[in-house]
Structure 1
Amino acid sequence: MALCKRVLQTGADSAFLFSSFRRNLYSPSSTGNNGYGLFSRQISGLVKPNGNRAFLVDTLALVRGLEAKGVPTKQAEAITAAITEVLNDSLENVAHAFVSKAEMQKAGMLQESNLSKFKSEVKSSQEHHFSMLQRETEKLRGDIEKMRSELRYEIDKVTAGQRLDLNLERGRIRDELANQNAETTNLTNKLDREIHTLRAQLEAAKYDVIKYCIGTLVSISAVGLAVLRILL
Protein backbone atom coordinates (compact mmCIF):
# COMPACT_ATOMS: atom_id res chain seq x y z
CA MET A 1 0.00 0.00 0.00
CA ALA A 2 2.81 2.39 0.84
CA LEU A 3 4.54 1.52 -2.45
CA CYS A 4 1.37 2.29 -4.43
CA LYS A 5 0.97 5.61 -2.66
CA ARG A 6 4.59 6.44 -3.41
CA VAL A 7 4.20 5.56 -7.10
CA LEU A 8 1.04 7.67 -7.33
CA GLN A 9 2.78 10.53 -5.58
CA THR A 10 5.75 10.14 -7.92
CA GLY A 11 3.44 10.19 -10.98
CA ALA A 12 1.65 13.28 -9.69
CA ASP A 13 4.94 15.04 -9.03
CA SER A 14 6.18 14.04 -12.48
CA ALA A 15 3.00 15.34 -14.09
CA PHE A 16 3.35 18.57 -12.12
CA LEU A 17 6.96 18.92 -13.18
CA PHE A 18 6.08 18.12 -16.81
CA SER A 19 3.26 20.68 -16.83
CA SER A 20 5.56 23.24 -15.21
CA PHE A 21 8.19 22.40 -17.78
CA ARG A 22 5.70 22.87 -20.65
CA ARG A 23 4.53 26.20 -19.22
CA ASN A 24 8.12 27.33 -18.93
CA LEU A 25 8.78 25.91 -22.39
CA TYR A 26 6.11 27.99 -24.17
CA SER A 27 6.28 31.10 -21.96
CA PRO A 28 7.81 34.13 -23.78
CA SER A 29 10.93 35.72 -22.36
CA SER A 30 11.60 39.43 -22.31
CA THR A 31 15.33 38.92 -22.85
CA GLY A 32 15.30 36.26 -25.56
CA ASN A 33 15.71 37.13 -29.24
CA ASN A 34 13.19 34.56 -30.48
CA GLY A 35 10.53 35.05 -27.78
CA TYR A 36 11.12 31.86 -25.78
CA GLY A 37 13.00 32.00 -22.46
CA LEU A 38 13.30 28.53 -21.02
CA PHE A 39 12.93 26.93 -24.45
CA SER A 40 16.00 28.71 -25.74
CA ARG A 41 17.92 27.97 -22.55
CA GLN A 42 17.07 24.30 -21.85
CA ILE A 43 16.19 22.85 -25.30
CA SER A 44 18.29 22.74 -28.44
CA GLY A 45 17.77 21.09 -31.84
CA LEU A 46 19.77 18.19 -33.21
CA VAL A 47 19.29 16.59 -36.60
CA LYS A 48 19.16 12.80 -36.53
CA PRO A 49 20.75 10.66 -39.24
CA ASN A 50 17.28 9.81 -40.64
CA GLY A 51 16.52 13.51 -41.19
CA ASN A 52 14.28 14.04 -38.13
CA ARG A 53 15.07 16.71 -35.55
CA ALA A 54 15.69 15.65 -31.93
CA PHE A 55 15.15 18.30 -29.27
CA LEU A 56 17.66 18.08 -26.41
CA VAL A 57 16.36 18.61 -22.87
CA ASP A 58 18.30 19.45 -19.73
CA THR A 59 17.59 16.00 -18.26
CA LEU A 60 20.03 16.43 -15.39
CA ALA A 61 18.08 19.36 -13.98
CA LEU A 62 14.85 17.41 -14.43
CA VAL A 63 16.30 14.34 -12.63
CA ARG A 64 17.60 16.54 -9.81
CA GLY A 65 14.16 18.11 -9.49
CA LEU A 66 12.49 14.70 -9.29
CA GLU A 67 15.02 13.48 -6.76
CA ALA A 68 14.39 16.61 -4.71
CA LYS A 69 10.71 15.59 -4.63
CA GLY A 70 11.69 12.20 -3.20
CA VAL A 71 11.66 10.12 -6.38
CA PRO A 72 14.36 7.44 -6.61
CA THR A 73 17.13 7.98 -9.11
CA LYS A 74 16.13 5.16 -11.48
CA GLN A 75 12.50 6.20 -11.50
CA ALA A 76 13.52 9.82 -12.00
CA GLU A 77 15.71 8.80 -14.93
CA ALA A 78 12.91 6.64 -16.40
CA ILE A 79 10.39 9.45 -15.99
CA THR A 80 12.86 11.91 -17.51
CA ALA A 81 13.48 9.59 -20.46
CA ALA A 82 9.73 9.16 -21.01
CA ILE A 83 9.12 12.90 -20.74
CA THR A 84 12.00 13.57 -23.14
CA GLU A 85 10.62 11.04 -25.64
CA VAL A 86 7.10 12.48 -25.40
CA LEU A 87 8.47 15.99 -25.67
CA ASN A 88 10.57 15.08 -28.71
CA ASP A 89 7.55 13.44 -30.37
CA SER A 90 5.34 16.45 -29.59
CA LEU A 91 7.89 18.94 -30.82
CA GLU A 92 8.52 16.79 -33.89
CA ASN A 93 4.79 16.89 -34.69
CA VAL A 94 4.79 20.65 -34.12
CA ALA A 95 7.84 21.01 -36.37
CA HIS A 96 6.07 18.99 -39.10
CA ALA A 97 2.82 20.93 -38.67
CA PHE A 98 4.40 24.39 -38.82
CA VAL A 99 7.11 25.94 -40.92
CA SER A 100 10.04 27.94 -39.72
CA LYS A 101 10.53 31.65 -40.20
CA ALA A 102 13.40 31.04 -42.61
CA GLU A 103 11.22 28.74 -44.72
CA MET A 104 8.42 31.31 -44.64
CA GLN A 105 10.85 34.03 -45.72
CA LYS A 106 12.20 31.74 -48.42
CA ALA A 107 8.67 30.96 -49.62
CA GLY A 108 7.82 34.68 -49.52
CA MET A 109 10.93 35.55 -51.50
CA LEU A 110 10.08 32.78 -53.97
CA GLN A 111 6.54 34.09 -54.30
CA GLU A 112 7.84 37.65 -54.76
CA SER A 113 10.30 36.38 -57.37
CA ASN A 114 7.54 34.50 -59.17
CA LEU A 115 5.27 37.54 -58.92
CA SER A 116 7.99 39.82 -60.28
CA LYS A 117 8.67 37.33 -63.07
CA PHE A 118 4.96 37.11 -63.83
CA LYS A 119 4.67 40.92 -63.82
CA SER A 120 7.66 41.22 -66.15
CA GLU A 121 6.20 38.55 -68.44
CA VAL A 122 2.81 40.27 -68.43
CA LYS A 123 4.47 43.63 -69.10
CA SER A 124 6.60 42.22 -71.92
CA SER A 125 3.54 40.45 -73.35
CA GLN A 126 1.54 43.68 -73.17
CA GLU A 127 4.37 45.61 -74.80
CA HIS A 128 4.69 42.92 -77.48
CA HIS A 129 0.94 42.93 -78.17
CA PHE A 130 0.89 46.73 -78.13
CA SER A 131 3.78 46.90 -80.60
CA MET A 132 2.07 44.29 -82.79
CA LEU A 133 -1.15 46.30 -82.59
CA GLN A 134 0.72 49.46 -83.54
CA ARG A 135 2.36 47.68 -86.48
CA GLU A 136 -0.99 46.29 -87.61
CA THR A 137 -2.54 49.75 -87.24
CA GLU A 138 0.27 51.34 -89.25
CA LYS A 139 -0.06 48.61 -91.87
CA LEU A 140 -3.82 49.11 -92.10
CA ARG A 141 -3.31 52.87 -92.27
CA GLY A 142 -0.80 52.42 -95.09
CA ASP A 143 -3.17 50.08 -96.94
CA ILE A 144 -6.01 52.58 -96.50
CA GLU A 145 -3.83 55.42 -97.80
CA LYS A 146 -2.76 53.25 -100.74
CA MET A 147 -6.36 52.34 -101.54
CA ARG A 148 -7.35 56.00 -101.18
CA SER A 149 -4.61 57.11 -103.58
CA GLU A 150 -5.54 54.37 -106.05
CA LEU A 151 -9.21 55.33 -105.80
CA ARG A 152 -8.33 59.01 -106.26
CA TYR A 153 -6.21 58.09 -109.29
CA GLU A 154 -9.05 56.05 -110.79
CA ILE A 155 -11.54 58.85 -110.11
CA ASP A 156 -9.21 61.41 -111.71
CA LYS A 157 -8.67 59.06 -114.64
CA VAL A 158 -12.40 58.51 -115.15
CA THR A 159 -13.07 62.24 -114.71
CA ALA A 160 -10.36 63.13 -117.22
CA GLY A 161 -11.75 60.58 -119.68
CA GLN A 162 -15.26 61.91 -119.22
CA ARG A 163 -14.03 65.48 -119.64
CA LEU A 164 -12.15 64.50 -122.80
CA ASP A 165 -15.20 62.71 -124.17
CA LEU A 166 -17.38 65.67 -123.23
CA ASN A 167 -15.01 68.11 -124.90
CA LEU A 168 -14.87 65.92 -128.00
CA GLU A 169 -18.64 65.68 -128.01
CA ARG A 170 -18.91 69.44 -127.60
CA GLY A 171 -16.47 69.96 -130.47
CA ARG A 172 -18.40 67.52 -132.65
CA ILE A 173 -21.70 69.19 -131.79
CA ARG A 174 -20.13 72.60 -132.42
CA ASP A 175 -18.85 71.42 -135.79
CA GLU A 176 -22.25 69.97 -136.67
CA LEU A 177 -23.94 73.21 -135.64
CA ALA A 178 -21.43 75.18 -137.71
CA ASN A 179 -22.06 72.90 -140.69
CA GLN A 180 -25.80 73.21 -140.21
CA ASN A 181 -25.47 76.99 -139.91
CA ALA A 182 -23.38 77.05 -143.09
CA GLU A 183 -25.91 74.86 -144.91
CA THR A 184 -28.75 77.02 -143.61
CA THR A 185 -26.93 80.13 -144.76
CA ASN A 186 -26.33 78.58 -148.17
CA LEU A 187 -29.97 77.57 -148.44
CA THR A 188 -31.05 81.03 -147.35
CA ASN A 189 -28.78 82.66 -149.90
CA LYS A 190 -29.98 80.27 -152.59
CA LEU A 191 -33.59 80.97 -151.71
CA ASP A 192 -32.90 84.68 -151.77
CA ARG A 193 -31.29 84.37 -155.20
CA GLU A 194 -34.18 82.31 -156.50
CA ILE A 195 -36.67 84.77 -155.02
CA HIS A 196 -34.84 87.65 -156.67
CA THR A 197 -34.79 85.69 -159.93
CA LEU A 198 -38.51 84.98 -159.65
CA ARG A 199 -39.18 88.61 -158.86
CA ALA A 200 -37.14 89.63 -161.88
CA GLN A 201 -38.98 87.12 -164.04
CA LEU A 202 -42.32 88.34 -162.67
CA GLU A 203 -41.37 91.92 -163.38
CA ALA A 204 -40.28 90.96 -166.89
CA ALA A 205 -43.49 88.97 -167.43
CA LYS A 206 -45.49 91.89 -166.09
CA TYR A 207 -43.80 94.24 -168.51
CA ASP A 208 -44.39 91.78 -171.32
CA VAL A 209 -48.07 91.45 -170.42
CA ILE A 210 -48.45 95.19 -170.17
CA LYS A 211 -46.65 95.57 -173.47
CA TYR A 212 -48.80 92.88 -175.06
CA CYS A 213 -51.93 94.46 -173.59
CA ILE A 214 -50.94 97.90 -174.84
CA GLY A 215 -50.09 96.46 -178.26
CA THR A 216 -53.35 94.58 -178.32
CA LEU A 217 -55.30 97.68 -177.30
CA VAL A 218 -53.44 99.75 -179.89
CA SER A 219 -54.11 97.12 -182.54
CA ILE A 220 -57.77 96.91 -181.57
CA SER A 221 -57.99 100.68 -181.57
CA ALA A 222 -56.34 100.84 -184.97
CA VAL A 223 -58.63 98.16 -186.34
CA GLY A 224 -61.62 99.93 -184.83
CA LEU A 225 -60.57 103.23 -186.30
CA ALA A 226 -59.99 101.54 -189.63
CA VAL A 227 -63.42 99.96 -189.50
CA LEU A 228 -64.99 103.25 -188.52
CA ARG A 229 -63.17 104.98 -191.30
CA ILE A 230 -64.35 102.37 -193.73
CA LEU A 231 -67.87 102.59 -192.50
CA LEU A 232 -67.95 106.29 -192.52
Structure 2
Amino acid sequence: MAAVCGNWRPRGARRNAMLRSRARVGHRVGSQVRKLESQGVPTKQAEAITSAITEVLNDSYCHPPTEWPLFVGIGAPEVRKLESQGVPTKQAEAITSAITEVLNDSLESISESFVSKAEMQKSEMLQEANISKFKSQVQSSQENHFSLLQRETEKLRGDIDKMRSELKYEIDKVTAGQRLDLNLERGRIRDELAKQNEETTDLTTKLDKEIHSLKAQLEAAKYDVIKYCIGTIVSISAVGLAVLRIVM
Protein backbone atom coordinates (compact mmCIF):
# COMPACT_ATOMS: atom_id res chain seq x y z
CA MET A 1 0.00 0.00 0.00
CA ALA A 2 1.26 3.47 -0.79
CA ALA A 3 2.28 5.66 2.10
CA VAL A 4 -0.32 8.28 1.17
CA CYS A 5 -3.40 7.73 -0.99
CA GLY A 6 -5.06 11.01 -1.83
CA ASN A 7 -6.28 12.77 1.33
CA TRP A 8 -6.85 9.55 3.28
CA ARG A 9 -4.09 7.89 5.33
CA PRO A 10 -4.98 4.70 7.25
CA ARG A 11 -3.14 4.29 10.54
CA GLY A 12 -2.63 1.78 13.32
CA ALA A 13 -5.01 -1.17 13.55
CA ARG A 14 -6.97 -0.01 10.49
CA ARG A 15 -3.79 -0.02 8.36
CA ASN A 16 -2.86 -3.50 9.60
CA ALA A 17 -6.39 -4.80 8.95
CA MET A 18 -6.38 -3.39 5.43
CA LEU A 19 -2.96 -4.89 4.73
CA ARG A 20 -4.19 -8.29 5.90
CA SER A 21 -7.33 -7.90 3.79
CA ARG A 22 -5.27 -6.93 0.78
CA ALA A 23 -3.07 -9.99 1.24
CA ARG A 24 -6.14 -12.24 1.48
CA VAL A 25 -7.68 -10.67 -1.62
CA GLY A 26 -4.38 -11.00 -3.50
CA HIS A 27 -4.21 -14.66 -2.52
CA ARG A 28 -7.76 -15.29 -3.74
CA VAL A 29 -7.07 -13.40 -6.98
CA GLY A 30 -3.88 -15.40 -7.48
CA SER A 31 -5.87 -18.60 -7.00
CA GLN A 32 -8.37 -17.47 -9.63
CA VAL A 33 -5.55 -16.59 -12.03
CA ARG A 34 -3.92 -20.01 -11.58
CA LYS A 35 -7.33 -21.57 -12.09
CA LEU A 36 -7.69 -19.67 -15.36
CA GLU A 37 -4.21 -20.78 -16.45
CA SER A 38 -5.12 -24.37 -15.67
CA GLN A 39 -8.08 -23.93 -18.02
CA GLY A 40 -5.84 -22.81 -20.87
CA VAL A 41 -5.62 -19.04 -20.39
CA PRO A 42 -2.23 -17.79 -21.70
CA THR A 43 0.31 -16.36 -19.27
CA LYS A 44 0.19 -12.84 -20.78
CA GLN A 45 -3.55 -12.78 -20.41
CA ALA A 46 -3.23 -13.94 -16.78
CA GLU A 47 -0.68 -11.18 -16.15
CA ALA A 48 -3.03 -8.65 -17.71
CA ILE A 49 -5.78 -9.87 -15.40
CA THR A 50 -3.41 -9.53 -12.41
CA SER A 51 -2.45 -6.01 -13.48
CA ALA A 52 -6.10 -4.98 -13.79
CA ILE A 53 -6.92 -6.41 -10.38
CA THR A 54 -3.90 -4.64 -8.82
CA GLU A 55 -4.99 -1.29 -10.24
CA VAL A 56 -8.52 -1.76 -8.89
CA LEU A 57 -7.18 -2.80 -5.48
CA ASN A 58 -4.85 0.20 -5.28
CA ASP A 59 -7.66 2.53 -6.31
CA SER A 60 -10.03 0.96 -3.75
CA TYR A 61 -7.56 0.96 -0.87
CA CYS A 62 -6.74 4.62 -1.43
CA HIS A 63 -10.24 5.60 -0.28
CA PRO A 64 -12.04 5.20 3.04
CA PRO A 65 -13.89 1.87 3.47
CA THR A 66 -17.22 3.73 3.45
CA GLU A 67 -16.51 4.75 -0.16
CA TRP A 68 -15.43 1.32 -1.43
CA PRO A 69 -18.75 0.53 -3.14
CA LEU A 70 -18.03 3.53 -5.42
CA PHE A 71 -14.62 2.25 -6.54
CA VAL A 72 -14.68 -1.54 -6.47
CA GLY A 73 -15.26 -3.15 -9.83
CA ILE A 74 -13.61 -3.93 -13.15
CA GLY A 75 -15.31 -2.17 -16.01
CA ALA A 76 -14.90 -1.52 -19.74
CA PRO A 77 -11.29 -0.21 -19.56
CA GLU A 78 -10.12 -3.45 -18.00
CA VAL A 79 -12.10 -5.49 -20.53
CA ARG A 80 -10.46 -3.59 -23.40
CA LYS A 81 -7.06 -4.10 -21.81
CA LEU A 82 -7.68 -7.84 -21.70
CA GLU A 83 -8.89 -7.77 -25.30
CA SER A 84 -5.65 -6.02 -26.27
CA GLN A 85 -3.80 -9.03 -24.85
CA GLY A 86 -5.75 -11.35 -27.14
CA VAL A 87 -8.54 -12.35 -24.77
CA PRO A 88 -11.89 -12.80 -26.54
CA THR A 89 -14.59 -10.34 -25.52
CA LYS A 90 -16.86 -12.90 -23.87
CA GLN A 91 -13.92 -14.43 -22.06
CA ALA A 92 -12.73 -11.01 -20.89
CA GLU A 93 -16.21 -10.14 -19.64
CA ALA A 94 -16.47 -13.49 -17.81
CA ILE A 95 -13.05 -13.00 -16.25
CA THR A 96 -13.78 -9.45 -15.13
CA SER A 97 -17.16 -10.54 -13.76
CA ALA A 98 -15.58 -13.36 -11.71
CA ILE A 99 -12.82 -11.14 -10.39
CA THR A 100 -15.30 -8.35 -9.57
CA GLU A 101 -17.36 -10.82 -7.57
CA VAL A 102 -14.26 -11.94 -5.65
CA LEU A 103 -13.25 -8.35 -4.97
CA ASN A 104 -16.73 -7.34 -3.86
CA ASP A 105 -17.00 -10.31 -1.50
CA SER A 106 -13.59 -9.65 0.02
CA LEU A 107 -13.93 -5.89 0.33
CA GLU A 108 -17.45 -6.20 1.68
CA SER A 109 -16.20 -8.55 4.42
CA ILE A 110 -13.43 -6.14 5.42
CA SER A 111 -15.64 -3.04 5.14
CA GLU A 112 -17.96 -4.53 7.74
CA SER A 113 -15.15 -4.27 10.30
CA PHE A 114 -14.90 -0.50 9.79
CA VAL A 115 -17.24 2.27 10.87
CA SER A 116 -17.76 5.73 9.53
CA LYS A 117 -16.19 8.80 11.09
CA ALA A 118 -19.59 9.93 12.34
CA GLU A 119 -20.18 6.56 13.96
CA MET A 120 -16.69 6.66 15.45
CA GLN A 121 -17.32 10.15 16.84
CA LYS A 122 -20.69 9.00 18.13
CA SER A 123 -19.02 6.01 19.79
CA GLU A 124 -16.33 8.25 21.29
CA MET A 125 -18.98 10.68 22.55
CA LEU A 126 -20.91 7.76 24.02
CA GLN A 127 -17.76 6.44 25.68
CA GLU A 128 -16.93 9.91 27.02
CA ALA A 129 -20.50 10.22 28.30
CA ASN A 130 -20.23 6.81 29.95
CA ILE A 131 -16.87 7.74 31.46
CA SER A 132 -18.27 11.07 32.66
CA LYS A 133 -21.31 9.28 34.09
CA PHE A 134 -19.05 6.71 35.75
CA LYS A 135 -16.87 9.49 37.21
CA SER A 136 -20.00 11.28 38.43
CA GLN A 137 -21.30 8.06 39.98
CA VAL A 138 -17.93 7.37 41.60
CA GLN A 139 -17.74 10.95 42.91
CA SER A 140 -21.34 10.78 44.15
CA SER A 141 -20.64 7.41 45.74
CA GLN A 142 -17.52 8.80 47.41
CA GLU A 143 -19.42 11.85 48.64
CA ASN A 144 -22.26 9.67 49.93
CA HIS A 145 -19.77 7.31 51.55
CA PHE A 146 -17.91 10.25 53.10
CA SER A 147 -21.18 11.78 54.35
CA LEU A 148 -22.28 8.42 55.73
CA LEU A 149 -18.89 7.92 57.36
CA GLN A 150 -19.04 11.43 58.80
CA ARG A 151 -22.53 10.81 60.18
CA GLU A 152 -21.44 7.48 61.64
CA THR A 153 -18.40 9.20 63.18
CA GLU A 154 -20.57 11.92 64.70
CA LYS A 155 -23.01 9.31 65.98
CA LEU A 156 -20.16 7.26 67.44
CA ARG A 157 -18.70 10.38 69.02
CA GLY A 158 -22.09 11.23 70.52
CA ASP A 159 -22.44 7.69 71.85
CA ILE A 160 -18.95 7.87 73.36
CA ASP A 161 -19.73 11.23 75.00
CA LYS A 162 -23.00 9.82 76.31
CA MET A 163 -21.27 6.72 77.67
CA ARG A 164 -18.59 8.93 79.21
CA SER A 165 -21.25 11.09 80.89
CA GLU A 166 -23.12 8.03 82.14
CA LEU A 167 -19.89 6.48 83.41
CA LYS A 168 -18.94 9.72 85.16
CA TYR A 169 -22.42 9.92 86.69
CA GLU A 170 -22.18 6.32 87.91
CA ILE A 171 -18.68 6.91 89.30
CA ASP A 172 -19.84 10.08 91.07
CA LYS A 173 -22.88 8.22 92.35
CA VAL A 174 -20.79 5.34 93.68
CA THR A 175 -18.25 7.76 95.13
CA ALA A 176 -21.01 9.79 96.80
CA GLY A 177 -22.59 6.59 98.15
CA GLN A 178 -19.27 5.40 99.48
CA ARG A 179 -18.56 8.82 100.98
CA LEU A 180 -22.01 8.84 102.58
CA ASP A 181 -21.52 5.32 103.89
CA LEU A 182 -18.09 6.30 105.19
CA ASN A 183 -19.49 9.40 106.88
CA LEU A 184 -22.33 7.36 108.37
CA GLU A 185 -19.90 4.72 109.57
CA ARG A 186 -17.64 7.41 110.98
CA GLY A 187 -20.61 9.01 112.75
CA ARG A 188 -21.73 5.63 114.06
CA ILE A 189 -18.23 4.91 115.35
CA ARG A 190 -18.10 8.38 116.89
CA ASP A 191 -21.45 7.76 118.55
CA GLU A 192 -20.26 4.38 119.78
CA LEU A 193 -17.10 5.92 121.19
CA ALA A 194 -19.08 8.69 122.83
CA LYS A 195 -21.48 6.14 124.28
CA GLN A 196 -18.60 4.02 125.52
CA ASN A 197 -16.94 7.11 126.99
CA GLU A 198 -20.18 8.04 128.68
CA GLU A 199 -20.59 4.52 130.05
CA THR A 200 -16.98 4.53 131.19
CA THR A 201 -17.54 7.88 132.92
CA ASP A 202 -20.69 6.59 134.59
CA LEU A 203 -18.89 3.45 135.70
CA THR A 204 -16.00 5.50 137.02
CA THR A 205 -18.41 7.72 138.91
CA LYS A 206 -20.18 4.73 140.38
CA LEU A 207 -16.88 3.19 141.40
CA ASP A 208 -15.81 6.44 143.02
CA LYS A 209 -19.10 6.59 144.90
CA GLU A 210 -18.73 2.99 146.02
CA ILE A 211 -15.17 3.60 147.12
CA HIS A 212 -16.18 6.71 149.08
CA SER A 213 -19.07 4.75 150.62
CA LEU A 214 -16.75 1.91 151.60
CA LYS A 215 -14.25 4.37 153.06
CA ALA A 216 -17.03 5.99 155.09
CA GLN A 217 -18.22 2.60 156.30
CA LEU A 218 -14.66 1.62 157.22
CA GLU A 219 -14.17 4.85 159.14
CA ALA A 220 -17.48 4.33 160.97
CA ALA A 221 -16.59 0.71 161.74
CA LYS A 222 -13.15 1.82 162.96
CA TYR A 223 -14.71 4.36 165.28
CA ASP A 224 -17.16 1.74 166.53
CA VAL A 225 -14.32 -0.73 167.19
CA ILE A 226 -12.29 1.91 169.00
CA LYS A 227 -15.35 2.90 170.98
CA TYR A 228 -16.09 -0.72 171.84
CA CYS A 229 -12.47 -1.35 172.76
CA ILE A 230 -12.37 1.70 175.01
CA GLY A 231 -15.67 0.68 176.62
CA THR A 232 -14.38 -2.84 177.12
CA ILE A 233 -11.11 -1.61 178.64
CA VAL A 234 -12.99 0.79 180.92
CA SER A 235 -15.35 -2.00 181.97
CA ILE A 236 -12.47 -4.38 182.64
CA SER A 237 -10.64 -1.65 184.57
CA ALA A 238 -13.72 -0.94 186.68
CA VAL A 239 -14.19 -4.65 187.37
CA GLY A 240 -10.51 -4.96 188.26
CA LEU A 241 -10.66 -2.01 190.62
CA ALA A 242 -13.78 -3.43 192.23
CA VAL A 243 -12.07 -6.77 192.69
CA LEU A 244 -9.01 -5.09 194.16
CA ARG A 245 -11.12 -3.24 196.62
CA ILE A 246 -12.87 -6.36 197.69
CA VAL A 247 -9.64 -8.22 198.06
CA MET A 248 -8.03 -5.52 199.98
TM-score bin (small chain):
0.7 to 0.9
Is residue 87 from structure 1 mapped to residue 118 from structure 2 by the alignment? Answer: no
Matches within 5 A, 1:186-225: 186-225=202-241
Q: TM-score, normalised by structure 1?
A: 0.73
Counterpart AA for 1:20? S
Is residue 40 from structure 1 mapped to residue 55 from structure 2 by the alignment? Answer: no
Q: 1:55–1:88: 8 Å Cα contact kept in structure 2? A: no
- How far has the Cα of 1:92 moved from its partner? 0.9
User: Residue 130 of structure 1 corresponds to which residue in structure 2?
Assistant: 146
How many positions carry a matched residue from both structures?
Answer: 209
Counterpart AA for 1:70? G
User: Residue 19 of structure 1 corresponds to which residue in structure 2?
Assistant: 50
Q: Deviations over 1:58-99 (max 9, x none)?
A: 523312321221223443334323322221122112223x23
Matches within 5 A, 1:151-230: 151-230=167-246
Q: 1:67–1:76: 8 Å Cα contact kept in structure 2? A: yes
Q: 1:14 to 1:140 in 2, by over 3 A?
A: farther
- How far has the Cα of 1:113 moved from its partner? 4.1
Is residue 139 from structure 1 mapped to residue 155 from structure 2 by the alignment? Answer: yes
- How far has the Cα of 1:163 moved from its partner? 1.4
- How far has the Cα of 1:132 moved from its partner? 1.2
Superposition RMSD in Å: 3.1
Q: Which runs of 5+ in 2 are unaligned?
A: 1-36
Return the alpha-carbon distance in structure 1 between the equivalents of residues 45 and 102 of structure 2.
13
Is residue 117 from structure 1 mapped to residue 148 from structure 2 by the alignment? Answer: no
Q: 1:44–1:56: 8 Å Cα contact kept in structure 2? A: no
With CA pairs under 8 Å and 6+ residues apart, which has the higher RCO, 1 or 2?
A: 2
Which range moves more in the overlay, 18-27 or 193-202?
A: 18-27
Return the alpha-carbon distance in structure 2 between the equivalents of residues 156 and 94 of structure 1.
87
User: Residue 114 of structure 2 corresponds to which residue in structure 1?
Assistant: 99
Q: Which runs of 5+ in 1 are unaligned?
A: 28-36, 47-52
Q: TM-score, normalised by structure 2?
A: 0.69
- How far has the Cα of 1:122 moved from its partner? 3.0
Please give the secondary structure, in 2, of the residue aligned with 1:173.
helix
- How far has the Cα of 1:152 moved from its partner? 1.2
Return the alpha-carbon distance in structure 2 between the equivalents of residues 92 and 14 of structure 1.
27
Q: 1:124 to 1:13 in 2, by over 3 A?
A: farther
Q: 2:53–2:99: 8 Å Cα contact kept in structure 1? A: no
- Please identify runs of 4+ aligned residues in structure 1 that moved more than 6 A: none
- How far has the Cα of 1:216 moved from its partner? 0.8
Q: Percent of aligned pairs with the same residue?
A: 67
Please give the secondary structure, in 2, of the residue aligned with 1:71.
coil
Return the alpha-carbon distance in structure 2 between the equivalents of residues 100 and 155 of structure 1.
79
Which range moves more in the overlay, 57-66 or 191-200?
A: 57-66
Q: 1:119 to 1:17 in 2, by over 3 A?
A: farther
- How far has the Cα of 1:107 moved from its partner? 4.4
Counterpart AA for 2:41? Q
